[in-house]
Structure 1
Amino acid sequence: MTRKQIAEMVKALGPEVARELIDAAARSAPGRVGTDRATRESSVYASVANFGAFTKSVIALGRRTSATELIDAAKRFGNAAVQKAVQLSKFDSAGVLVPIQQSGEVIEFLRPDAALLKLGVRTQAFRGELHMGTQTGTSVFKWVGEGETVPRSAPKYGKIVLKAHKGMVLTDISNDLLRTPGVGDAGVGEDIRATVADGLDDAGFNGDGTGAAPKGLFVQFDPAHSFASTGTTPSAYLADIDKAVELPLTAHVRMGTAAWVIHPTRATALMQLQESGLFLFRGEMLDKGTIRGFPFVMTTRVPTTRITFCADWRQFIYGIDENLILSEHDTRAEHDETTIRAIVKGDFKLRQPKAFSSITY
C-alpha cells in the first residue's frame, strides 16, 4: 500500500479505533465500577488519602482546561493510581467539573461514616426519578363448605417514587496545604466524606420534605408503630422494647436485616438500668453489641427521645443519584484559601412502613 492509501485507511478506522480504546479504558481504568460493583483497590474512593489527593489535584489545576496540566498537578499531589484516574476526568471551560464514578462507588465511599448504611439499608442507584413497585395487600385465604362460594381477592400493589434532591458542601482549604505534596490528603478526603455522610444521615432520619429537603424515616413510617414509652423503670423499658420488636412481626413483616438505631445518650441510659443490683442490658450491649439479641447502631442524628427498631432495614431505600460532583467553586484570595464544592443527589423511601417501630420518651 502507498502512504496515501495507508493514510486514508487510518482516517476510515479512526472512529472505530477510538471507540475500542475508550471501551478498553473504561474496562480497565482504576476507580471505575466493575460488574461486582466493588471499589477498585486503586480507586480514588479506595481510601480517604486517595480521595484527598485527587481533590487537591483538581483544585490545583484552577480554571485551566488542559488535561496535561491536570496530570502535572496530580503528579505533585497524588500517587500513580490517582494520576491514572485523573486522566479519565472531564473538564468544563467554566471551571473544574469532575464527575466521579457511579453511585455504587459513592455509597461505598460514604459507608464508614453513614449510620444508615451501617444498618444495612437497601442502596439504589437512579438517575433523576425512579418508580418502584411495592405490595400493599395480599390475597385472602378462606375455608369453604360444599356448595359455598369464596369471595374473590387479589394482592394489591402500589408504587414509591425516588426523586433526586440536591445537597451541597462548600469547604475552604488552605492553599498552604494544597501546595504541600503528601500532607493533609487524608484530612481533605475525610472532611468531605464525613460532611456528606452526615448530611445524608440527617436527611435520611429527620428530613421533613419541606423546601428542597427529602422526607426521612420519621415522617414516613406507620404512625401506629410509633408509641409513647410507659416509663423509664427497668420493667417499663423491657416491656416497651418487647413491644417495639413485636409490632413489625405481628404486621407480617419478614425478619431480615433487623437492628436498632439509638442515640448514644439513650444507649447510656439503657446500660445503666439495674434491677436487684444486676445490669439488665449492659453486658449484652458491651459484649455482643446487641439489644434483645438484635444489633444496634448509635448515631447523634437520631433524637435522644427515640429508640427505633426495624425488622428488615432493606425495606428502607437509600437512593443516590448517579454522580458525585466536585468542583472549584471560588478562590478566597484574601485568605489564601480555595473553596471546593461537593454535590450529591439522593432520596429516601420506605418500601414497607410497617417494618419499622419507634418508642418515644
Structure 2
Amino acid sequence: MSKVLQLRSERAELNTKLQALAKIEAEGGSLNAEQLTEFTSLETQIADLSAKLSRAEAAEKSAALAAVPVEEGAQGAQSPPAAGLHGGEGKEQVKGAGMAQMVRLLAAAQGNQQHAAHLAKEGKFGSDVQMALSTVTAGAGGVLVPVNMSGEVIESLRPVSIVRKMGVISLPLNNGNLTLPRITGNTQVGYIGTETDIPLTGMTFGDTKLSAKKMAALVPISNDLLRMSGVNPRVDQLVANDLATSMGLSEDLHFIRADGTGVLPKGLRYWAIPANLVPAPAQSGINLQAIDLYLGGLMLRLEAKNVQMQACGWLMHPRLIRWLQSLRDGNGNKAYPEIEQGLLKGYKYGLSNQIPVNLGVDGDETEIYFVNFADVMIGEDMELVIDFSKEATYKDAGGEVVSSFQRDQTLVRVIAKHDIGPRHVESIVVGTACDWGAGM
C-alpha cells in the first residue's frame, strides 16, 4: 500500500471513532471525562495525519511529474521479445486505452510493475502509461491505477452501468466519506396583516452520509488477446470494454438492490421509504386501464412530494418492457407506442438483468423503479486497484467453476470504492410484486 493510501486509511479510521463520539452528544447524551479526553486526542491525531498526508500527496505529485520510464535492467527487468510488444507512436485512440494498456503490460510482466514499465518503454507506449508504471506503488492488494486513468475508466462506465446512464451525479469521496445536507421540511410562507408579526418559520435539514464500500469485479481476459501488439485500438477497445462491462454489471447489482448490511452499499430498493413501495396488480385479469393507473400512481408519489421531475426515469427487467410493448388497446393499436423511442409515459427507461424476475412465493415476480436520478449521488474514491492471476478459478454466469490456467486466461481483479444514496428518499418509488410478463 502506498504511503498516501496508508495515511488516508488511518485518518478514515480515526474519523469514524470521532464521529461515533460526536453522535452521542448529537442524540442528546453527554461525554464522560474519558470520552472527552479521547475526543481531544482523536482531533490532534487527525490534524497530524492531515498534515502528513498533504506532504505525502505533494511528494507523490512531484514524483509523477518528474518521472521517466525505468531504464533497461532496472530491478532485474529483462528485455521483452521484439514481436508482439511494439506499440507504435503510443497514442491513445479509444477511451480507457491507457488503463487497457496498463493491464496488458502488467499481465505480460506477471504483475511486476518495474518489468511492465520496462516493456512499456521498449514497446514505445505512451508517456503517460510509462510514467504511471514507473511511479505507482505496488502493494499486497495489487497495483494502484493513477487517478487520471481510473477517472477515464469510471467515466466509461456511464454507458454500461444502467444506474449511471440514467443520470445519477458522481461526486468524489473525501477520505472515504461524504456528507450531503438535504432539506427535510420547507419554509412555510403566507400572507399576514399590516400589524401582525411575521411568524418564525424555517427549513429543517438532514444529512445523507456516503462512505466508501469496496467492490471487486473479476475480468477474465484471453491470453491470446494479451499477447497482441501494444497500442492497437481494436485490442485496447476489447480490453477496456471487458473491464467496463464487468464493473458496470457489478455496480448495477449493488446500486439497485444491495440491502446495505455489512460491507454492502444500500441500493435504491432499500433507500425507498415504506410508503413508496407499491405492490402491482396481478397480471391475471388485469386490464389496460388498471395498468395505466398503476404506472401513473407511481409517478404521482414523486409529484405529490414536490420532487423536481427533471431527470426522472424507469428501471426494469427487459421482460417487463417487452410485455408492456406487446399490449394493445381495443382497436389493436399499441398501448405504449413511445416505447420504440425509449420512453414510457413520457420518461426514459433503463433495462437491467440485475433486477431479478424470480421474486415472490411463486418465483415469478419482479420490480419496477421510478426515480428522480438527479437526486441520486454516487460517491467515488477515484483510485482503482488491479491485480492478476493466471491460476485462479472463478464462477461463470451459469455458476460453473472455471480454471483460468486451463482456459489460457488471465483473471484481472479490479477493486473500486464507492457508495450511493439519494439526497431525498422521497425521490425513489418501487413497484413490487410485479408478475407482469411471467411466462413470456
Match of 1:129 among 177, 187, 211: 177
Instruction: Supply the distance in 2 between the matched residues of 1:162 and 1:108 (Cα, whole angstroms).
Output: 20
Does residue 1:322 correspond to 2:369, yes or no? no
Report the counterpart of residue 332 of structure 2 in structure 1.
Answer: 278
Q: Partner residue of 2:422?
A: 350
Q: Which amino acid in 2 is paired with 1:168?
A: A
Q: Structure 1 290/24 Cα, relative in aligned 2: closer, same or farther at 3 Å? A: farther
- More off after superposition, 315-324 vs 51-60: 51-60
Partner in structure 2 of residue 88 of structure 1: 132
Amino acid of the residue matched to residue 344 of structure 2?
A: I
TM-score (norm 1): 0.78
Which region of structure 1 is more displaced relative to structure 2, 249-258 or 88-97? 88-97
Is the 1:43–1:85 contact (alpha carbons within 8 Å) kept by the matching residues of 2?
Answer: no
Contact 2:219–2:246 under 8 Å retained in 1: no
Distance 1:303 1:265 in 2: 10
* Residue aligning to 1:302: 355
Partner of 1:170: 218
* RMSD over equivalenced CA pairs, Å: 3.2
Conserved in 2, the CA contact under 8 Å of 1:58 and 1:96?
A: no
Q: Which runs of 5+ in 1 are unaligned?
A: 1-17, 26-40
The sequence identity of aligned pairs, in percent, is 25
Identify the residue that residue 212 of structure 1 maps to in structure 2.
263
**Correspondence for 1:292:** 345
**Residue of structure 1 equivalent to 2:42:** none
The one-letter amino acid of 2:254's match is A
Between the aligned partners of 1:114 and 1:93, the Cα distance in structure 2 is: 29
How far 1:202 moved relative to its partner? 0.8
Q: Matches of 1:257 and 1:42 in 2, distance apart?
A: 37
- Following superposition, the deviation at residue 145 of structure 1 comes to 4.8
Q: What is the CA–CA distance in structure 2 between the aligned matches of 1:23 and 1:87, rounded to whole Å?
A: 9
Q: Please list, as runs of the form range in 1=range in 2, the aligned pairs for 1:219-238 lying within 5 A after superposition.
A: 219-231=270-282, 232-238=286-292
Contact conserved, 1:128 with 1:321, CA < 8 A, in 2? yes
Alignment partners' CA distance in 1, 2:109 and 2:388: 9
Does residue 164 of structure 2 align to residue 120 of structure 1?
A: no
Checking the alignment, whether the CA contact within 8 Å between 1:165 and 1:212 is kept in structure 2 is yes
Q: Is 2:145 the counterpart of 1:99?
A: yes
Change (3 A) 1:19 1:307: closer
Aligned positions, number: 324
Which amino acid is 2:128 matched to? Answer: K
Shift of residue 109, structure 1, vs aligned partner: 1.8
Structure 1 pair 64–245 and aligned structure 2 pair: CA distance change class (3 A): closer
Letter in 1 for 2:352: T
Structure 2 match to 1:29: none
Name the structure 1 match of 2:20: none
Contact 1:124/1:319 (8 A) holds in 2:
yes
CA deviation map 1:277-331 (0-9, x unaligned): 3334442111x22111111111112244222212x31111112212111123565
Instruction: Name the CA shift for 1:65/1:249 in 2 (closer, same or farther; >3 Å).
Output: closer
| Residue 246 of structure 2, aligned match among 195, 198, 205 | 195
Which secondary structure does the structure 1 equivalent of 2:138 belong to?
A: coil
SS in 1 for 2:187: coil
Report if the CA contact (8 A) 1:132-1:159 is conserved.
Answer: yes
Equivalent position of 1:264 in the other structure: 318
> Which residue, 402, 405, 413 being the options, matches 1:341?
413
Considering Cα pairs closer than 8 Å and 6+ residues apart, tell me whether 1 or 2 has the greater RCO: 1
Q: 1:42 to 1:220 in 2, by over 3 A?
A: farther
Counterparts of 1:240-255 in structure 2 under 5 Å? 240-255=294-309
Deviations along 1:329-356, one digit per CA (max 9) or x if unpaired, are 5656964554332100111111111122
The CA deviation string for residues 112-168 of structure 1, in whole angstroms up to 9 with x for no partner, is 210011100111111411111111111212444566556532100111111111011
Alignment CA distance shift 1:320-1:106 (3 Å) = farther
Corresponding residue for residue 35 of structure 1:
none
| One-letter amino acid matched to 1:299 | S
Q: Are the equivalent residues in 2 in contact too, given 1:100–1:325 (CA < 8 A)?
A: no
2:200 corresponds in structure 1 to: 152
For 1:246, the aligned partner's letter is: L
Give the direction of change, closer, same or farther, for the CA distance of 1:157–1:19 in structure 2 (3 Å limit): closer
Q: Which residue of 2 aligns with 1:3?
A: none
**Counterpart residue type for residue 293 of structure 2:** A
The residue aligned with 2:45 is none
Quote the Cα distance in structure 2 between the aligned partners of 1:337 and 1:122: 36
Q: Is the 8 A contact 2:107 2:410 kept in 1?
A: yes
Contact 2:141 2:385 in 1 (8 A): no
* Cα pair 1:204 1:217 within 8 Å, conserved: yes
User: CA 1:339 to 1:249, structure 2 compared with 1: closer, same or farther past 3 Å?
Assistant: same
Q: Distance in 2 between matches of 1:322 and 1:244?
A: 35
Unaligned runs of 5+ in 2: 1-59, 68-89, 358-365, 393-403, 435-440
